[in-house]
Chain A
Amino acid sequence: KNQVEQSPQSLIILEGKNCTLQCNYTVSPFSNLRWYKQDTGRGPVSLTIMTFSENTKSNGRYTATLDADTKQSSLHITASQLSDSASYICVVSADSNYQLIWGAGTKLIIKP
């Protein structure tokens, strides 16, 4: 069964600290892996999209890694800001935009 599991479910860190969110997947075939940020009461916004051959991709203070052998990805946030408080969702594409398997998300809270 195609699945995407994220950990932790929630995380609280102090402003300025770094954190890493995890994503494990069992999806076949694999096309790409995406990370989205979803602010409370808003739709998700794309952070990165990584294909099989990409190990690392950065978007400002966000860095995503992908290990296609172990079927794991992580999202590292550097020097966190209050505006990083959101849910972060890992999504794996089986073969097209029509077959996206969504994780349940990690809720990140940044405290001043």
Chain B
Amino acid sequence: DVKVTQSSRYLVKRTGEKVFLECVQDMDHENMFWYRQDPGLGLRLIYFSYDVKMKEKGDIPEGYSVSREKKERFSLILESASTNQTSMYLCASSKQGAGEKLFFGSGTQLSVL
């Protein structure tokens, strides 16, 4: 089974802190994604990567950056956390191809105080 592991289930940070969310997948997938999920809304894509060192902005990249130095690892960085970034963050991976399934991690619930 594919495993996508997110480093933390819960995080509490202060406004202005730099926050790192880590994600590792073990199935040699080319694509990796970061989404945020807020109550009553569909998942929103922050960034995705289709190869090592490659990154593309999603629908809501403002206030975030990403890093993909190795194929299995995709990091999401909040340069200066703000309260409106309090959310559930979900990492996913997939093979290349339009019809490929996304496999998700369990998510990180981030609270910014």
Contacts of A96 in B (CB 8 A): 98
Q: Is the CB of A97 within 8 A of B40?
A: no
Q: Is the CB of A43 within 8 A of B107?
A: yes
Segment at the interface with B among A12-20, A62-70, A75-83, A98-106: A98-106
Q: In the complex, how many residues of chain B place their beta carbon closer than 8 angstroms to a beta carbon of chain A?
A: 26
8 Å CB interface, A30-66 against B: 31-32, 34, 41-46, 49, 51
Q: Mark B19-59, 1 if CB is under 8 A from A, else 0.
A: 00000000000010100000011111100101000001000
Shortest distance between the CB of A50 and any CB in chain B (Å): 9
For B96, the closest partner residue in chain A by CB is: A97
Q: Is the CB of A32 within 8 A of B98?
A: yes
Residue B104 is within 8 A (CB to CB) of chain A in the complex: yes
Contacts of A4 in B (CB 8 A): 42
Q: Is the CB of B100 within 8 A of A43?
A: no
8 Å CB interface, B85-113 against A: 90, 92, 94, 97-107
Q: Is the CB of A42 within 8 A of B97?
A: no
B residues apposed to A, CB below 8 Å: 4, 31, 33, 40-45, 48, 50, 56, 90, 92, 94, 97-107
